[in-house]
Structure 1
Amino acid sequence: MKSNLYLIALISILINCKLAQNSATEFVPTFSVSKKTTHKIPEGQDYTFGYLEVLENRNNPNGNRIKLPIYIFKSRSKNPKPDPILYTVGGPGYTSMRASKYMEYYKYLDDRDFILFEQRGTQYAKPSLDCPEWAHAVYESNLPNFDTTKTDSLFQKAAKICNERLRKNGIDLNSYTTNQIAADINDLVNVLGIEEYNLLTMSYSTKIGQVLVRDYPDKIRSVVMDSPLPLEVNYDEESVNNLLGALDKLLSDCQADSDCNNAFPDIKSRFLKYLEEKTINPLEVKVENPKSGEPETFYLKGKDLTTVFTSASTGSVPNIPFEINKLLNNDLTSVKERLQYLFQEPGGGIGKGMRLSVWCAEENPFNSQEKIALETNKYPAVKGLSPTVFGNEICNIWNVQKVSEIENESIKSDIPTLLISGEYDNETPVKWARLMTNNLTNSHHLIFKGWKHGPTTYWSNPCAMQAANEFFNNPTFKPNPECFGQIESPIFKTD
């Protein structure tokens, strides 16, 4: 089914694009409607699906052209507001297209059209920069009998094979950057003839949002950044500290709660001491291999056992002290359940090449290797936990160009912006959003008590989505939905 919102603009622009291509004077981006979609859309949802075609390398007009799938979902309102919302997810390397199946739950469509944008190099883009070699390396390295002294060489080999294969296929890996993705979105806005729009971003895609605000601000009416990652932050240098900080906050809240503290007295110091002891004397866990039926033995250090916190979603936050206490009492049922997943066959490494290109061009070059080395061994409880998404050796193999210095500098803007944080988010901590408010002079910040990463995608409680939608409807004021005032610190499970 097709939305009529942009039909006239599409027809006229497609004609102009065809003429421009025929003249061979300059490449002009195009949007073409397609009947074949990435996902089956539920009955009753009006939409247009198609592909944005842009240059892979904008400095080479005769080079590769890439296609990015786009959904334009029509508002449920009979009188929708004229400024649509454009949404793209995080990663880098994750697909936005999966959200297309769940538009009935998206409150934004009550008021506006909603555009779902797929970033270049991700799952449904053409091409998709997949690295099955990397996925297999992850699988192999997680098996209990793997020789950990070979970890570095295993991943270096995987990166080398994937890199060579993608380049052999004509992929320009230097063109898969945040800056280029922002340019793709700007092209889409222009091709569709949109005069003004709102931007919804989450996690990594908040960097895309910052570049758009900096380089293409004219048509942006308002911005929501869920779990923001500031351009100027060097993620790898802080990741271990951020993990321990979020864990400390949660366990401190448990100790401040009389019921939680009575059930699990002094849980913070006991858990940290436990992690430190297991770093020296790893925890031995026997798990049945579902393929062979034979027992396999894992040896887990402190850095491995932090998954009791990091793997928990917002919905399972109340259970974290209870699960930690199980560990402290040598109840390994939950640990064994998580380890069972490691025997699953590796995936296709979808979008991993895009992730490598972005990280090795934009994050790794700005890292202090001295700080990275210090962070790896600084904290006894998680000693040996690498703070990097991709190490320096991997990025040397991936061999993409470093982006310009401006891509690691903070932006300044007076565009109305809402920053949303989860209180226990260890990936993009609250402090980063607070930092951004210094330069976003027309911004507001909401912190969701007891929540983790990505509050607007917490389906069990759509309060953050409601707050975002209220902001889009009136970006002059800080949203204050009734549900937000009802959110309190978690009631921790004690038995």
Structure 2
Amino acid sequence: MPRLTTLFLIIILCIGRLSAQFVKIEQSGCDFRVDPDFLKTVPDNAKQSYTSGPSLPDSTFEKQCGYLLVPENRSKKNARMIKLPFIVVRSKNPDKRRDPVLFTAGGPGGSSLGMAAGLAKSPFIEDRDCIVFEQRGTRFALPYLRTFELDKTLKEATRRNLNKDSMAIVGLKKYKVALEKRGIDLAGYNTDETVSDIHDLLKALAIDSVNLFGVSYSGGLMTAVLQRDPDRIRSLILDSPLPTFVPIDEDEPVNFMEALHIYFENIARDSTSQQHYGGLRSLFHQYFTSIAAKTFELPYLEPGTKDSIRIKYTKNELLTIILDKLYDDSGRKELPRIITDMVNGNHQPYIRPYFDGFFRRNGAPDGMRLSVYCADQTAYHSEKVRKELDKIYPYLAGFHINDVYREMCDCWKVPSVSLNTKQPYYSAVPALLADGELDPACRPLYIDRISHYMPNSQRFLLKNKGHGVIGNSMRPIVKSFLANPYKKIMSNDVNMIAY
């Protein structure tokens, strides 16, 4: 055999072995549990929150559960291997299609595995298998990137009325050190690595055609999966997606305002509501502009303590309460009364429960969320552009809609994702795009922008809905799309606009 041919075969064999070590499945039962190394760090009062596994489909469904073993950081030689759980839920249809639906959660930082139970009740399972994949660093992945140093620091800052932004950095430094002491390489947690994980999972499961389903952050993530290797992607279903090429840190404050303005307009058009709340938009802006630099005090007894303290708060906490209600499709009807009470100086019915929840929960971001946001978003966004909005809405200055922001990322220090990942691209793969007109995070503008680059896409705007809209009302549309993703779908629902 000629020497060059022999050398070529050796190279091919070596590459094959290298690829094989990156694509490995470890079978397991479906009783996934949280990382035991993480559990050692959980405060006693929080351990109950981490004892249960994910919700699973009932026993009538056949399931395959396991871990995908991948390098923690593919850019480093001899990187340690991490374990990423997945669940394959088998369709009961004997004539099912061979192209499954793969779902992974948004956030970034959300756990995916609990969605297995939901998909088993959805139109997805009627004709094909469903796969849920837990992203690296999230709740049931090994390792789970979570500590409680930031939670403790923020609570102490609130009790002592210290500057929360400064104290957040103090807590974040401890957070980072604690994760690194567990041997975690924070540079390995970003969209580029997760895209590689998904392709490795598809290879390991021998899937050559798949439909990708993503929500919010994972909507953009799925377009990055398509961008990397489109050959095996049959279609995309994107619910309230965050495009990879959108600078959400710059956009999110105005996204909040746009959704709130539409809500105010809907109130003003409704004859019953108009009588009581017709001028709510003006009242909101006037009041929050007037208190932009003001500090309030609340006599407060923290649950489980004996001594009352005086907690200082600002418009930031009040805006958070409003934003949380705007996200809530069922609770949104309370907003006119809440805002009217706030404008009249009646904060206590809302600010006291806010602090009860703050001290009860541990709401700091997971390490995976920190790493992904810092690598994907903060590395590319313009703080100058972000601050321009403060001139229009002065009360938004210093209000962090996202719990990860520039100063935190300056401390976290992880490398950015590839510039190519942040660029839009054209694709003929069909896509179903949906969003709510009241989405305060990812505006319908985003599905319009994705559609521009995906000419075989179909868009659905759901009136009076917010973030995350693919549910029972869209069941027949999802079913029709999966059956023939190139066929134009019409809607007879007046609250669902197809375009």
Same fold (TM over 0.5): yes
1:204–1:25 Cα change, 3 Å: closer
Match of 1:15 in 2: none
Q: Is residue 251 of structure 2 the alignment partner of residue 235 of structure 1? A: no
CA distances 1:77-103 after superposition (whole Å, capped 9, x unpaired): 232222110000101111112223444
What's the counterpart of residue 72 of structure 1? 88
Q: Percent identity?
A: 27
CA 1:346–1:397: 2 relative to 1, 3 Å: same
> Which residue matches 2:439?
425
Residue 170 (1) aligns with residue 186 (2): no
Matched, 1:198 2:206: no
- 1:161 aligns to what? 174
Counterparts of 1:228 and 1:22 in 2: how far apart (Å)? Answer: 35
* Alignment check: 8 A CA contact 1:119 1:181 kept: yes
Amino acid at match of 1:421: D
Alignment partner of 1:52 out of 68, 83, 91: 68
- Separation (CA, whole Å) in 2 of partners of 1:486 and 1:425: 15
1:191 CA displacement: 1.0
- 1:245 and 2:245 matched: no
Q: C-alpha distance in 2, partners of 1:87/1:127?
A: 21
Instruction: Please say if residues 222 and 416 of structure 1, whose CA atoms lie closer than 8 Å, have aligned partners that are also in contact.
Output: yes
Q: 1:320 aligns with which of 332, 335, 354?
A: 335
- With over 3 angstroms needed to count, the CA separation of the structure-2 counterparts of 1:296 and 1:101, relative to structure 1, is farther
With 60-69 and 24-33 compared, the bigger mean Cα shift is at: 24-33
Structure 2 residue aligned with 1:145:
160
Retained in 1: the 8 A contact 2:189–2:371?
A: yes
- In the aligned structure 2, how far is the partner of 1:105 from the partner of 1:283? 47
Q: State the partner residue of 2:449.
A: 435
Cα drift, residue 60 of structure 1:
4.0
1:309 aligns with 2:303: no
The correspondence for 1:121, drawn from 120, 126, 137, is: 137
In the TM superposition, what is the alpha-carbon distance from 1:74 to its structure 2 partner?
A: 1.0
Matches within 5 A, 1:246-285: 246-285=259-298
Q: Measure, in 2, the Cα distance between the counterparts of 1:380 and 1:24.
A: 55
| 3-state DSSP of counterpart to 2:439 | coil
CA distance in 2, matches of 1:32, 1:25: 16
Q: Distance in 2 between matches of 1:413 and 1:310?
A: 35
Distance 2:388 2:22 in 1: 48
Identify the residue that residue 466 of structure 2 maps to in structure 1. Answer: 452
Assess, with a 3 A threshold, how the Cα gap between structure 1 residues 131 and 375 changes in structure 2: closer, same or farther.
Answer: farther
**What corresponds to 2:494 in structure 1?**
485
2: CA distance between counterparts of 1:25 and 1:409?
A: 27
Offset, 1:61: 5.3
The counterpart of 1:111, out of the listed 127, 136, 148, is 127
Match of 1:384 in 2: 398
Distance 2:63 2:132 in 1: 11
Cα distance in structure 1, aligned partners of 2:405 and 2:350: 30
Q: State how far apart, in whole Å, the 1-side matches of 2:411 and 2:436 are.
A: 35
Using the TM superposition, name which of 66-75 and 167-176 deviates more.
Answer: 167-176
Q: In terms of mean alpha carbon deviation, does 98-107 or 315-324 score higher?
A: 98-107
- Matched residue, 1:188: 201
The AA in structure 2 aligned to 1:179 is D
Asked if 1:469 is matched to 2:479, the reply is yes
- With 269-278 and 129-138 compared, the bigger mean Cα shift is at 129-138
Q: Is 1:404–2:418 an aligned residue pair?
A: yes
Give the number of aligned pairs: 460
C-alpha change, 1:345 and 1:257, in structure 2 (3 Å) is closer
What corresponds to 2:25 in structure 1?
31
Displacement of 1:125 in angstroms is 0.8
* Corresponding residue for residue 358 of structure 2: 342
What is the DSSP-based 3-state SS (H/G/I as helix, E as strand, rest coil) of the residue aligned with 1:414?
A: coil
Residue type of the alignment partner of 1:319: E
Output the CA distance in 2 between the equivalents of 1:195 and 1:134.
43
Are 1:417 and 1:444, in contact at CA under 8 Å, matched by a contact in 2? yes
Deviates more, 1:325-334 or 1:19-28: 19-28
Between the aligned partners of 2:366 and 2:61, the Cα distance in structure 1 is 32
- Residues 319-346 of structure 1 deviation map (CA, whole Å, 9 limit, x = unaligned): 2223222333444423432332122153
Describe the SS at the equivalent of 1:71.
Answer: strand
> How much does 1:481 deviate?
5.3
Structure 1 portions without partners, runs of 5+: 1-18, 489-495
User: Does the residue aligned with 1:51 lie in a helix, a strand or coil?
Assistant: strand
State how far apart, in whole Å, the 2-side matches of 1:479 and 1:287 are. Answer: 54
* Match of residue 10 from structure 1: none
Q: Is the 8 A contact 2:104 2:213 kept in 1?
A: yes
Kept in 2, the 8 Å contact 1:276–1:382? The answer is no
Secondary structure in 2 matching 1:311: helix
In 2, distance between residues paired with 1:291 and 1:25? 54
Alpha-carbon offset, residue 389 of structure 1: 4.4
For residues 120 and 353 of structure 1, what CA distance do their matches in structure 2 show?
11
Give the match's secondary structure for 1:27.
Answer: helix
Q: Which runs of 5+ in 2 are unaligned?
A: 1-12, 33-52
| 1:423–1:96 CA distance, 2 compared to 1 (3 A) | same
Contact 1:303–1:383 (CA under 8 A) maintained in structure 2:
no
- Measure how far apart 1:386 and its partner are: 3.6
Pairwise CA distance, 1:466: 4.5
Distance verdict in 2 for CA 1:21–1:97, change over 3 Å: farther
Instruction: Compute the displacement of 1:475 (Å).
Output: 0.8
Go from structure 1 to structure 2 and tell me whether the alpha carbon gap of 1:333 and 1:465 turns closer, same or farther (over 3 Å shift): farther
Contact 2:86 / 2:134 at 8 angstroms: preserved in 1?
A: yes
8 A Cα contact 2:23 2:203, kept in partner: no
Distance 1:183 1:158, change over 3 A: same
Structure 1 156/119 Cα, relative in aligned 2: closer, same or farther at 3 Å?
Answer: same
Per the alignment, residue 359 of structure 1 pairs with 373
* Compared CA separation, residues 203 and 126, structure 1 to 2 (3 A): same
Structure 1 residue 202: deviation in Å? Answer: 0.5
TM-score, normalising length: structure 1? 0.85
- Cα deviation 1:87-145 (Å, max 9, x = unaligned): 0010111111222344443331122111000111111111111132223234334x353
